[in-house]
Amino acid sequence: MPVLVVNMMEGRTDDQKRLLVEKVTNAVCESLKCESHKVKIIINEMPGNGYAIGGKLMQDTDEKYKKR
């Protein structure tokens, strides 16, 4: 039973997440030759103040977070 963890910034729509898990599940099933009901995916969404690149919080560097 493959378990995948996706860490991403918050802000994606439910439709985007549905498409993501569908395509990731299909890719895992194709490459590992397993059934889709055995693929587990955990999505962790991080706020702009919970993720940093290069010593700077995303909310301080990413334009979409500056507008909030």
pLDDT digits (tens, 9 = 90+) for 3-61: 999 999 999 999 999 999 999 999 999 999 999 999 999 999 999 899 888 999 988 88
CATH number attached to the domain at 3-66: 3.30.429.10
- Checking if the pLDDT of 66 tops 70, the result is no
Q: Of 1, 2, 31, 62, which one is the catalytic site residue?
A: 2
Is there a catalytic annotation at residue 47? no
| Terminal-to-terminal C-alpha distance of the chain | 40
pTM, whole model, 2 decimals? 0.81
What are 66's two structure tokens?
Answer: 């500056």
Dist CA 55 CA 66 (whole Å): 17
Report which secondary-structure segment, H or E, holds 26: helix 14-32
What sign does the dihedral 31-35-36-39 (CA atoms) show? negative
